[in-house]
Amino acid sequence: MGATKTGATIERIDHIVFTVRDPDTTCAFYETVLGMTVATFEAEGTTRKALHFGRQKINLHRAGREFKPNAPRAAPGAIDICFVTAAPLDAVIARMRAASMTIVLGPCQRSGALGPMRSIYLRDPDDNLVEISAYEA
C-alpha cells in the first residue's frame, strides 16, 4: 500500500464504532462468545464501553445517545464485519455450537484481504452480521 496524493499512508484500523441497543448485552456477547476484553473509559465527561481484541477496539454507542460526531444514519444492526481468528475454524464452530449460537452460513470459502479463507457467519444481539474467518495455510 503506497502513499496517497496527500502523502498519507494508512497502516491499519485503530477502532470502529458500533451503535447498539444495550452496551452491556453487546459486551457480554463479544466477551463470552468471541473472547474480547471489555473496557470502560471516560471521554469528554461521558462513561463509555469498548471491546478490545489484538491491537484494535470497537467503541460502543448506545442508540439515541451517540457520541458526537457520529455517522448520520448510525443504527443497531447496520454492521457487516469480518474477524480473523488464529484458531482453527473447526474449533471456532465447535465453540459456537457449545454456546448455542446459530451459524447462519458456513463454513464456506471466501476471499479476504490476504487471500483465501474459510468463514462462518452469525448474528450478534443487535443483528449485525459477524463473519469469523481463518486463513488457509
Instruction: Express each pLDDT in 40-76 by its tens digit.
Output: 998 878 889 999 999 999 999 999 988 888 899 999 9
**How many domains in the chain?**
1
Whether residue 54 lies inside any domain: the answer is yes
Evaluate whether residue 102 is within a structural domain.
Answer: yes
Structural domain for 91, as ranges = 15-135
* CA 68/CA 113 separation, integer angstroms: 30
Which residue has 474480547 as its cell numbers?
A: 36
pLDDT at position 136 over 90: no
One-character DSSP codes across 30-77: HHHTT-PEEEEEEETTEEEEEEEETTEEEEEEETTSPPSS--TT--TT
**Is residue 7 in some structural domain?**
no
Give the mean model confidence (pLDDT) for residues 74-97: 95
User: Quick check: is 6 in a domain?
Assistant: no
Domain membership of residue 70 (yes or no) is yes
Q: What is the CATH number of the domain that holds 57?
A: 3.10.180.10
Upper half-sphere CA count for residue 65 (Cβ side, 13 Å): 9
Whole-structure pTM value? 0.89
Q: What are the φ and ψ backbone dihedral angles of 103, each rounded to 5 degrees? A: -90, 115
Residue 9 included in any domain: no
- 8 occurs within a structural domain: no
**Looking at residues 72-95, what average pLDDT do you find?**
95
Active-site residues: which are they?
131
Neighbouring residues of 78: CB distance < 8 A, sequence distance ≥ 6 = 19, 128
Is residue 25 situated within a structural domain?
yes
